[in-house]
Structure 1
């Protein structure tokens, strides 16, 4: 059962990486074809590219980026992010927008299922006292005055 779950998670990660590449390609094609109608379309196109890069990096072992976008380490964070991406890419007229948003809605649904059925232990901090203080922990500083 665990091996089947790992295989499913791997396929889901490949699917989400493909969604990220599709978002980047979608943004680049919109810029190249000059099909940007107004400020709203311009900013959505920029968001497609930025969010596509973020999705691709979230599926790679990039700890520096994940420290900034910590919600993408958890299934619920990915589920909500893909639900958001599915809603901003949802359009009827070009069929590839519809396909990308349906794939993102499916990925979001799968991440919701994983969140409710599985425990994710890939993000854990060491329990020993040898780790460095994070920048938000309270530090005890002795005043000399």
Structure 2
């Protein structure tokens, strides 16, 4: 069974692969589901079951990278691609948020191109519910 085979999915969840960020118990390139609930973004790893909840109000943005080398250049400092010549194209998704101390953090995921439309819907749902803000730079 491949990376995206039939598994216990969270209803309405987006199947992605965790790539980078501070999520204890999650391993790079391991499958998980993301689902937006009323007040939280829930990230669920299946085996063993780990559930992480991120308050929706602490999410600042979601970035979508349709070219792997763009993601690698911005977050890893190298302009490379890990894709094999016949590999399934993948997009990278970065969830930017403020941790409980107010420090900017991000969680990085990747998935096949087919999941990007679901991530865009997630992006739009978050954008529609954002509170007005004002800040100094």
Task: Give the TM-score normalised by structure 1.
Answer: 0.29
Greater Rg by CA: 1
Higher strand proportion, which one?
2
Task: Give the TM-score normalised by structure 2.
Answer: 0.30
Higher helix proportion, which one?
1
